[in-house]
Amino acid sequence: MRLIRFLVAFACLALGAVVGALNRGLISIDFGFTTITTNLGVALIVALLSGVLIGGLAISASLVLPLRRRLARAERHGMPPGA
């Protein structure tokens, strides 16, 4: 299992390096109050990572936290899980 995690992490790092190397053009990102000039590859990787993080937080807030509250309430009342 540890080897599989290592291989997946290495593959993701290699893919990120390839994306960064192939997309070396400069772009400007305007946020309204500031402008950032960066490589297209870096902007793509940051956008993908922020999307994954925001999606994970949304799933956690909408699914995981309510289920944990429901389980805690069921355990307080002595009910078996799933009942």
Q: What letter would DSSP give residue 34?
A: -
- Kindly state the helix (H) or strand (E) to which residue 76 belongs, with its residue range: helix 65-76
What are the b/e assignments for 39-53, b being 16+ CB within 10 Å? eebbbbbeeeeeeee
The series of mean pLDDT values per 10 residues for the chain, 83 residues long, is 90 86 89 92 88 91 88 81 61
pLDDT at 83: 60
pLDDT at 51: 92
Structure tokens at 65: 């936290």
- Residue 19: name the closest of 52, 50, 43, 55 by CA: 43
pLDDT at 33: 94
Could you please report the per-residue DSSP string of 42-68?
A: HHHHHHHHHHHHHHHHHHIIIIIHHHH
Instruction: Give the global pTM.
Output: 0.67
